[in-house]
Structure 1
Amino acid sequence: MSDPGPMLLTGPAWSACTGDVDALAVADGRIVATGDAARSWAEETGAEAVDVAGLLVPALGDGHAHPLFGGLEAEGPQVRPCTSVAEIVAEVAAYAEAHPELAVIRGASYDGSLVDGGAFDARWLDEAVPDRPVVLRAWDYHTVWVNSRALELAGITAQTPDPPLGEIARRDDGSPLGTLREWGAVDLVTAAVGEWELEPMVRAIERAGQAYAALGITWVQDAWVTEVELPAWIAAAEQGRLPVRVDLALYADPRRWPQDRERLRAMRQQVRDLAHPLLRAETVKLFADGVVENATAALLEDYETLIDGRPPSDHDGCGCPGDGMLVWPADLLAEAVAAVDADGFQPHIHAIGDRAVRVALDAVEHADRVNGRRDRRAVIAHVQLVDEADRARFAELGVIANAEPLWAQLDDLMTVLTVPRLGAERIARQYCFADLDDRGTTLSVGSDWPVSSADPFEGMAVACSRQTEQRHPPGGWTPEQRLPVETALTAATAGTAYQSFRAAGCLDPGCQVHGDDGPGPVADLTELTLDPRRLPDPRDIDQVRARRTWLAGRLIHESSTTERRGDP
């Protein structure tokens, strides 16, 4: 990466720690002065002058995403836009016909709400491809739909028991339907049909990084990396195909604990040995539970209905837990969090349900007690349901709440799949972002792309309005949880920078709040086309674009268009 020359950016600029400033000086990839001091410095150095027309902010981050998976969606049949099962089947058939050389048809990600209960039948895919395995991931990335050939190769029959941490959806006669929930079940198929090859994964990383740069994002937390994906990240870095900064969260598997601990350290060492400035692997990902949509999120009280529409009481004796699934037993999760924390990793815990959030907080508290208080910046991601008794604990424990604000709306996913599961009373308790902020919690934001859009401005529009794109409902859903625009912008800039342990997210040259990686904040910057704080309706924040993006003072994206984008 070549060092850019000195630069003076003049025009409206803002960060959470400085407020508004009107000039910014950049040298050697760092912010060195603001305001009049920046202009004086530019006269002395002959710095390049750059005019800012919209609003200059610290570059945005994505605190929880799956960029490799997102990039891979372009490699298979394009099922995401499909609005019916028939459309998906037709798309898979056309793709398979165009690619006779492929032994496996892989794709993502279909809309699980197209079928009641999200139960998709293998026979529907058999109509498209009867002779090769087909493996499609759902939008939630916790569910997979396969054809009969894939079931056959995996040896999944009516006699196959549900594996640990997984569920095989079944027909009334006990035969496998074709829908596999959670990774214990999904791994049965993956082990039989194999994984993506290296080059498509490297292409996916490059594609995703370019998309992020165009969105004004320069740092991403990949929230799920195993031995399968790690070689692709290393290859992308070695080949100069990594456009933005990425921290890899290495997946800890409860089925392999505590033996997994050494594997995690070895994977981290591979990345450290590479010593690439844009790639780190200092985080460990742990799943506390699943997701509400397939009734695997862990709740303090039973679901209203489970995946087949029946209440939990009607499932007595079938093995379906009425309150969801803890991926790790609570005591084992606490042990694992303390262990990875002792190894110097940053714990990053997926927790959707209120029971899972409590267990995750308990685990961080255990690590704090065992290892001592330190600047660990543990992350609990998603925080869909947080019990009132647990909301103050985030700030007390120094835990970052990573929110996916795009989910906090009454869209089809919410009304078709979530509302029936949780019921009216719990629905109104979801995504308590304002409550967490009021209690002093550090908020960061994520997209969970490709589960949902990577566009940070779409997420901010929902965070600040609690409305759908059609502005439903008037006044916003649970409007007391709306975030002020500056708070949402802070979470996307300073919040994600704090999560990343980097001196970034601020325009103050003397700021060392976020990291100790050099003198002054890194000049990762984004020029927005509009100032989101000045819009009359916060729902219009989704019209904001990134005009230019700089990575350590080097321009990596420039666009003059303000057209509405689709997903990367």
Structure 2
Amino acid sequence: MAIVFTGGTIRIDGRTSDVDRLVVVDGLVAEPGHPVPEDAEHIDLEGGLLLPAFGDGHVHPLLAGRERTGPALRDATSVAEIVGRVRAWAAASDAPWLVGGSYDATIVDGGLFDARWLDAAVPDRPVVLHAWDYHTAWVNTAALRAGGVDAETPDPALGRIVRRDDGSPSGTLVERPAIELVLAHAPRPARADDVDALAAATTHLAAQGIAWAQEAWAEIDDVPTWIAAARAGRLAVDVDLALRADPTRWPAQLDDLRATADEVSGEPGLTCRTVKFFVDGILENRTAHLLECYHDARTRGLPNWRPDQLAAAVAACDAAGFDVHLHAIGDAAVRAAIDAAETIRESLRRGRRVTIAHAQVVDPADLPRLADLDITFCFQPQWAVADAVMTELTLPRLGPARERQYRMRAARDAGARLSFGSDWPVTSPDVLLGLRTAVTRQDADGQPAGGWQPDERLTLSEAIDAATSGVALQAGDQDRRGTLRPGMAADLVWLDRDIRRAPADRITDARILGTWRRGIPTFAARVSALAAVRPEQESA
């Protein structure tokens, strides 16, 4: 199978000159002088831009796909609106549990929701709603009752039950151990439903120009669903699974992780090369781990791993053949992640990959350490704006002394490698929106003028690299994907215009017309866009 692309601009890797013709043969980029097979498909780029396909270095397709079965809540602007949608959902469903999401926590002061508000809509069945961050859940009284959670229930290790003044649980559960007190009693989704969820989610990713994704939170129990989806040809993007390391089961869990990863080996379009560590939580519910107390509370957060425990676990993962993906939000968590990476310095030089995701707050003293470590910071560029989450929840927690966040420029200049991820469904997987935000650090209305913390902006070329070759390097696939050099996988995205020649705030005006994975189309904006033209229309 061969494809010839002409009629537009083709970015090879951002370092070599653009070209106006690309030949793909059997899923690989061919040498420039490669003869064109007679049966080649010819695609006119119509003056657009062809890039290496985007990657998503941190995303949750299964969670995103599951959300489609419940009510859309993200755009709800009041408790009454959410409750109304949940009431309609309950009336249309006979499911014994209603599990959905995700809602905007900023609509209630402090992000704390009451079970009684949901009781007004559904008093007789358990309801569990995930907040947009997936570190917090809002449940009704029936769900608390099903989990046996009452005033006498102690907070679990590494989690928190938010309580009313009388000690009774309010209905807000913070971090996974607390959420699981309830959710562990809910029936698991049917495998066929989850396969459908993965198909829908990965198809949506392909429509964003994405050909590879890091599933950044996979539980062992979810892996059979991923395998079933891969074998059925339902995955529209290649995916690597990052299996979650559980601090309460470590180190005994490592053998289970290795056995699970071995089960995935050889599955089409699916790998399991990575272990995921939640080093801490999030700032908005004060579970991110800080070096100094929160500005509005006498706590430094809720670390999931002691620094020495984390370092030993990362070293064990390295010895077991795993790459490592570390969720680290607070400056203490980022420091612990860098410390852990230092314990496997020699392995990093030999190709082991360590990725620190989010890196929201980094102590300035830790930036110089990045020059000597071959590690990747995977940023979520859409978060680098002064939106409602930032102004109403995050900044009040941090205070003015720690307001500098998502320091993409500083990290890159210090020596970190950069990749981009969306964290979808937390935020949209729209890569073009992420590129625009990384370059402008402005919201959709162009605010603030000049950008929020503008000295942390990237150039567009640097941002494109982070979304393409940076993600490939994070995956350890830099010799197979991420650029369009000869011999690389033909993972491609076709834009209707060259976004490099437009004002930065107009990047999102571009449309994605097509996506290819290993030379096979996975998305077409219109049928005619990928229709073959007659060979004689191809110029020599």
TM-score tier (shorter): over 0.9
Say whether the 8 Å CA contact 1:547–1:558 is kept in structure 2: yes
Deviation at 1:560, TM superposition (A): 4.2
Q: Find the residue that maps to 2:201 and give its secondary structure.
A: helix
Q: Find the residue that maps to 1:401 and give its secondary structure.
A: strand
| Structure-1 separation of matches of 2:323 and 2:511 | 31
Structure 2 residue 372 is matched with structure 1 residue 396: yes
Deviation at 1:540, TM superposition (A): 1.9
Structure 2 residue 254 is matched with structure 1 residue 287: no
Q: Where does residue 115 of structure 1 map in the other structure?
A: 108
Equivalent residues in 2 for 1:467-478 (5 A)? Answer: 467-478=442-453
Say whether the 8 Å CA contact 1:6–1:45 is kept in structure 2: no
Distance change >3 Å, CA 191–CA 46, structure 1 → 2: closer
Q: Find the residue that maps to 2:435 and give its secondary structure.
A: helix
Q: Where does residue 550 of structure 1 map in the other structure?
A: 516
Structure 2 residue 251 is matched with structure 1 residue 258: yes
Say whether the 8 Å CA contact 2:355–2:377 is kept in structure 1: yes
Say whether the 8 Å CA contact 2:220–2:257 is kept in structure 1: no
Letter in 2 for 1:346: D
| Structure-1 separation of matches of 2:400 and 2:28 | 50
Q: Where does residue 308 of structure 1 map in the other structure?
A: none
Distance change >3 Å, CA 263–CA 328, structure 1 → 2: same
Letter in 1 for 2:318: D
Q: Where does residue 185 of structure 1 map in the other structure?
A: 178
Say whether the 8 Å CA contact 1:75–1:200 is kept in structure 2: no
Distance change >3 Å, CA 456–CA 6, structure 1 → 2: closer
Q: Where does residue 420 of structure 1 map in the other structure?
A: 396
Say whether the 8 Å CA contact 1:64–1:448 is kept in structure 2: yes
Q: Where does residue 534 of structure 1 map in the other structure?
A: 501
| Structure-2 separation of matches of 1:549 and 1:353 | 36
Say whether the 8 Å CA contact 1:10–1:24 is kept in structure 2: no
Q: Where does residue 356 of structure 1 map in the other structure?
A: 333
| Structure-1 separation of matches of 2:419 and 2:212 | 12
| Structure-2 separation of matches of 1:296 and 1:94 | 33
| Structure-2 separation of matches of 1:124 and 1:231 | 37
Higher mean C-alpha deviation, range 129-138 or range 182-191? 182-191
- Which of 170, 176, 185 is the equivalent residue of 2:169? 176
TM-score by length of 1: 0.90
Equivalent residues in 2 for 1:254-333 (5 A)? Answer: 254-272=247-265, 275-305=266-296, 311-312=297-298, 322-333=299-310
Aligned CA-pair RMSD? 1.4
Letter in 1 for 2:492: L
Q: Find the residue that maps to 2:42 and give its secondary structure.
A: strand
| Structure-2 separation of matches of 1:159 and 1:6 | 66
- Which of 391, 399, 410 is the equivalent residue of 2:386? 410
TM-score by length of 2: 0.94
Q: Where does residue 160 of structure 2 map in the other structure?
A: 167
Equivalent residues in 2 for 1:185-264 (5 A)? Answer: 185-264=178-257
Count, aligned residues: 523
Q: Find the residue that maps to 2:71 and give its secondary structure.
A: coil
Q: Where does residue 565 of structure 1 map in the other structure?
A: none
Q: Deviations over 1:335-394 (max 9, x none)?
A: 11000111111100000011100000101111236x684211210000101111112323
Q: Where does residue 367 of structure 1 map in the other structure?
A: 344
| Structure-2 separation of matches of 1:227 and 1:255 | 15
Structure 2 residue 497 is matched with structure 1 residue 522: no
| Structure-1 separation of matches of 2:348 and 2:373 | 12
Letter in 2 for 1:553: G
Q: Find the residue that maps to 2:471 and give its secondary structure.
A: helix
Letter in 2 for 1:437: R
Q: Find the residue that maps to 1:232 and give its secondary structure.
A: helix
Say whether the 8 Å CA contact 1:285–1:350 is kept in structure 2: yes
Distance change >3 Å, CA 108–CA 9, structure 1 → 2: same
- Which of 66, 71, 74 is the equivalent residue of 1:72? 66
Equivalent residues in 2 for 1:43-192 (5 A)? Answer: 47-53=40-46, 54-99=48-93, 101-192=94-185
| Structure-2 separation of matches of 1:413 and 1:533 | 30
**Structure 1: unaligned runs, 5 residues or longer:** 306-310, 313-321, 510-519, 562-568
| Structure-2 separation of matches of 1:32 and 1:508 | 8
Q: Deviations over 1:411-470 (max 9, x none)?
A: 11111110110112311x101101111123210000000001110111111110011101
Letter in 2 for 1:551: R
| Structure-2 separation of matches of 1:6 and 1:76 | 41
| Structure-1 separation of matches of 2:469 and 2:135 | 30
Letter in 1 for 2:131: A
Say whether the 8 Å CA contact 1:135–1:150 is kept in structure 2: yes
Q: Where does residue 535 of structure 2 map in the other structure?
A: none
Q: Deviations over 1:229-257 (max 9, x none)?
A: 21210111122211110000001100000
Q: Deviations over 1:175-220 (max 9, x none)?
A: 0000000011011112222332212211110001110111100000
Letter in 2 for 1:133: P
Deviation at 1:88, TM superposition (A): 0.5
Deviation at 1:13, TM superposition (A): 0.6
| Structure-2 separation of matches of 1:195 and 1:189 | 13
Deviation at 1:542, TM superposition (A): 2.0
| Structure-2 separation of matches of 1:360 and 1:50 | 46
Q: Where does residue 27 of structure 2 map in the other structure?
A: 29
**Structure 2: unaligned runs, 5 residues or longer:** 528-540
| Structure-2 separation of matches of 1:206 and 1:134 | 26
Q: Where does residue 418 of structure 2 map in the other structure?
A: 443
Structure 2 residue 397 is matched with structure 1 residue 432: no
Say whether the 8 Å CA contact 2:348–2:374 is kept in structure 1: no
Q: Deviations over 1:504-540 (max 9, x none)?
A: 111111xxxxxxxxxx10000000122221112x122
Distance change >3 Å, CA 11–CA 373, structure 1 → 2: closer
Counting aligned pairs with the same residue, the percent is: 49
- Which of 292, 301, 311 is the equivalent residue of 1:334? 311
Q: Find the residue that maps to 1:379 and give its secondary structure.
A: strand
Letter in 2 for 1:146: V
